[in-house]
């Protein structure tokens, strides 16, 4: 069972420049509302009401001004600031105090999901779980290699030649050992602490499960994917935002 969630909304948004020159990409609109509203709603639709938002220092006040304390979303917010854009796992380590030893749901701030994860959140106990989706452009993502029983063998971070077309989407379930694993990381060739390396630690321990995203999913981190996500949102706002949250 998970009651706490983390939205990772840092980064520089370099692939959306110049639209991100003076704002954080997670504050850009996806159709008619700020991008961060979508992962927030995914957490709420999954039954999570205690939420930590991790952002970069430059725009932290903008997030606080936009979101407030959470009352308008029937939840409670906390905020943390990632001083440098040093990767997803680097941002996640700021959630250790917030987790207080409890399990966490983690979502990337530029991910738009049609489905909720209420069942998986309710049933989660230990280890980690990722959610996979077949995509035509797998090289943009972490890519999972699985066996015939859908067990995850390894995750590759943005491989030039993806071994499969299974992208690791930006929704994760972790137990509290995730912070020990982050502490073991060394920066990748990109100079970042990679979430794929964290997931590979869970795989090595035999504590990784995989689910599959059957409905619509897109990131919104490029102009093409932002356009695609906005088109889907335009046609499906009621489905995305009027689900029962608890």
Is residue 244 predicted with pLDDT exceeding 70? no
One DSSP character per residue, 31-67 reads: TTEETTHHHHHHHHHTT--EEEEEEEGGGHHHHHHHH
Residue 246 included in any domain? no
Question: What pTM does this model have?
Answer: 0.96
**3 state SS of 208:** strand
- C-alpha span between 108 and 88 (Å, rounded): 8
Q: 14: domain range?
A: 4-241
Residue 152 included in any domain? yes
Instruction: Report the CATH number at residue 68.
Output: 3.90.550.10
Cβ neighbours, 10 Å, residue 22: 8
Residue 115 included in any domain? yes
Number of domains observed in the structure of the chain: 1
Most distant pair of Cα atoms in the chain: their distance: 48
Per residue in 145-182, pLDDT (tens digit) is 999 888 999 999 999 999 999 999 999 999 999 999 99
User: What is the rounded average pLDDT of the residues 52-59?
Assistant: 95
Element (H, E) at 229: helix 223-241
Orientation of helix 223-241 relative to helix 37-45, angle to 10° = 40
Per residue in 13-23, pLDDT (tens digit) is 999 999 999 99
- For residue 88, the model assigns a pLDDT of 96
Tokens 């630690």 label which residue?
Answer: 201
């Amino acid at each position: 069972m998970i009651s706490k969630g983390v939205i990772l909304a840092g980064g520089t948004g370099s692939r959306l420049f110049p639209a991100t020159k003076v704002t954080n990409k997670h504050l850009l609109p996806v159709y008619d509302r700020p991008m961060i509203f979508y992962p927030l709603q995914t957490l709420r639709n999954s039954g999570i009401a205690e939420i930590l938002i991790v952002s970069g220092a430059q725009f932290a006040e903008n997030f606080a001004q936009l979101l407030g304390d959470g009352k308008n979303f029937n939840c409670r917010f906390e905020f943390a600031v990632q001083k440098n854009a040093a990767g997803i796992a680097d941002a996640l380590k700021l959630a250790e105090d917030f987790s207080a030893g409890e399990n966490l749901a983690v979502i990337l701030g530029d991910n738009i999901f049609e489905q909720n994860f209420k069942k998986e959140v309710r049933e989660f106990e230990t280890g980690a779980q990722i959610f996979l989706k077949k995509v035509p452009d797998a090289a943009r993502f972490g890519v999972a290699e699985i066996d015939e029983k859908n067990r995850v063998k390894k995750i590759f971070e943005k491989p030039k030649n993806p071994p499969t077309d299974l992208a690791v989407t930006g929704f994760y379930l972790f137990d509290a050992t995730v912070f020990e694993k982050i502490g073991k990381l060394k920066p990748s060739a990109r100079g970042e602490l990679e979430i794929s390396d964290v997931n590979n630690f869970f795989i090595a321990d035999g504590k990784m499960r995989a689910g599959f995203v059957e409905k619509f999913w897109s990131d919104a981190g490029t102009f093409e994917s932002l356009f695609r996500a906005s088109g889907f949102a335009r046609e499906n706002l009621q489905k995305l935002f009027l689900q029962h949250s608890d």
